[in-house]
A and B are shown apart, each in its own frame.
Chain A
């Protein structure tokens, strides 16, 4: 570990914190300047003394930087105030909604990786087969369709026409402590299929194309030809030698896509009325529920900045060439 590597890490961490501070400033300005918080809290029959007292209690009489600092402290403790619409603490609502989104994101991510790798390998090995051509064409159409239309199409096919799967909600959920899961009941499992496909389709296509391209590249290499010459079976050559070497880029891309999955969950959750944080956010925008919007903004920024930082640092850890350059 050279000094320059350490320097790079410190710079990246510093940059991430700076981004979060700016996002926090935006969130705080929303609180402070959208409508009058005192107006929102006090009823019709208020006196000037009431207003002054509440302003002091909320700290609104203090200078702007002090208020911002207090807001940040609250945010770190997970205190974002009370939802204007539901009248409950925002942190409570988010904790209640988060499992639904994370479960959906994990299932669709898993689906995207598994199906994406399988189809990618298949289309690379059977390069000119008609099956590959069909898969590649369908994937092209899948990418150009907007997410919400894919969701509607699936609902039309599987809920309206075939009447096989539910078109909205999470089904029956089981509570394990504060976590609620839909993966332990039959109706919950049935309910997650369509949203997970809708959400994962784009990432699946991406992974498939990446695996296919990498496989085609690797299969041309000498060591693969040599493995064939040694008389190893096709299966061993394709999976042991070729696939293994395609996985590093796949892992990085998937890591970076994690954030997109959570962002696009907003659309999927709305189409399927899935009770997660994405749907909560859309409803918050519709009703201008500032505390919920601010909390979601902070939550998603922490996730994005965290994921990007982690991927950047992992890159340095995995790829020795980068390490050599940095040190």
Chain B
């Protein structure tokens, strides 16, 4: 109970309660996240069960009853008669899963590389940071595309569709570890000089334990900020790759895939198939980004 109170009255929470932008974007993210997690319960239709689809329902405009069946869909239907609202909920599941998993992977690699580079120094540091520098000269989205292409090539043909989501996670994760590594290394170099680390060394703790139990907890706040901003970037990267047709497979459409499908109906007037997934993607990416900005300011009072 007391712990809760301390947490609620901490500086970060105070700043959160008094920032309308942070509150607003938190609510948007929370609603979208809940919608994605509980998609099977909320979605009025199961877009992946062909038995429940009725082709007669195709191209129903949002909110209007269908001319043949009389059914109404709140955000309309696509050419196959799939409910757009339901496909968005299921699409968000894929987008968010890929986003979170990719950031987790990037974080794992980046933190490990950064800790080792900062703590060990020497040629280990030189090699890790050189690789990071080289990767940083290429735009992340290009790196992700290249890794996706290479990994797809190495995957046996019969597993390509099943594995696509995992390949996507690896590609995006490997494309954004550099930010984490740079920040963690910088912070580790500072922490390494402090007395508590020297004390731990003196009582004979292993390098591994010092990095993990002593230094890591003290470099976590910048990592948290980068993770939030990386999440927004990863969601956009996933959407871009899927939009280009080199991401999520057609059997597991993400928001990007839905936008790709919707673009095909731009000229024939069925705007809702494109419009609603695009708005969802923007709302998601923008509010995660705003949360990241707020977090950066809140954890770093010096910047204000």
Chain A residues proximal to chain B, CB less than 8 Å: 15, 19, 26, 30, 33-35, 144-149, 152, 155-156, 159-160, 167, 259-260, 263-264, 266-267, 270-271, 281-282, 284-286, 288, 290, 293, 297, 300, 304-305, 308
Contact = CB atoms under 8 A, between A and B. Distances in A.
B210 interface: no
A260 B143 CA distance: 12
Contact of B266 (A149, A152, A260): A152
B259 A152 contact: yes
A267 B142 contact: no
B202 interface: no
Interface stretch (B9-17, B112-120, B144-152): B144-152
Contact of A144 (B134, B244, B245, B286): B286
Given A145-B282, A266-B142, A288-B149, 17 more contacts: A19-B134, A33-B154, A146-B285, A147-B240, A148-B243, A148-B259, A149-B259, A149-B281, A152-B263, A152-B274, A160-B267, A281-B145, A282-B244, A282-B246, A288-B153, A304-B137, A304-B138
B258 interface: no
A23 to B, nearest CB: 9
Contacts of B259: 148-149, 152
A285 B246 contact: yes
A285 B149 contact: yes
A190 to B, nearest CB: 17
Is chain B's binding surface mostly helix, strand, loop or mixed? helix
B278 A300 contact: no
Interface string B269-296: 0000010001001100110010000000
Which secondary structure dominates chain A's binding surface?
helix
Contact of B245 (A147, A282, A297): A282
Given A19-B134, A155-B266, A300 B142 contact: yes
21 contacts: A19-B134, A30-B153, A34-B154, A144-B289, A146-B236, A146-B240, A146-B281, A148-B244, A149-B259, A149-B278, A159-B267, A160-B267, A259-B137, A259-B139, A263-B139, A267-B244, A270-B244, A282-B145, A282-B245, A282-B246, A288-B149
A263 B282 contact: no
Contacts of A26: 150
B246 A286 contact: yes
B145 A266 contact: yes
B239 interface: yes
Contacts, number: 86
A263 B138 contact: yes
Given A144-B286, A282-B244, A264 B153 contact: no
Contacts of B145: 266, 281-282, 285
Most chain A beta-carbon contacts within 10 A, residue among B138, B149, B259:
B149
B141 interface: yes
Nearest to A261: B139
A259 to B, nearest CB: 7
Contacts of B267: 159-160, 167
A24 to B, nearest CB: 13
B176 to A, nearest CB: 15
A55 to B, nearest CB: 21
Contacts of B282: 145, 149
Nearest to A152: B263
Given A146-B239, A147-B240, A148-B243, A285 B148 contact: yes
Contacts of B278: 149, 152
Contacts of B138: 259, 263, 304
Contacts of A304: 137-138
Contact of A288 (B142, B146, B152, B274): B152
Contacts of A148: 239-240, 243-244, 259
A165 B201 CA distance: 69
Contacts of A267: 141, 240, 244
B142 A144 contact: no
A266 B286 CA distance: 23
Nearest to A293: B149
Q: Nearest 8 A-B pairs (CB), nearest first?
A: A285-B149, A34-B153, A263-B142, A285-B246, A263-B139, A146-B236, A148-B243, A270-B244
A300 B150 CA distance: 15
B74 to A, nearest CB: 23
A266 B285 contact: no
Nearest to A285: B149
Contacts of A160: 266-267
Contact of A290 (B139, B153, B236, B274): B153
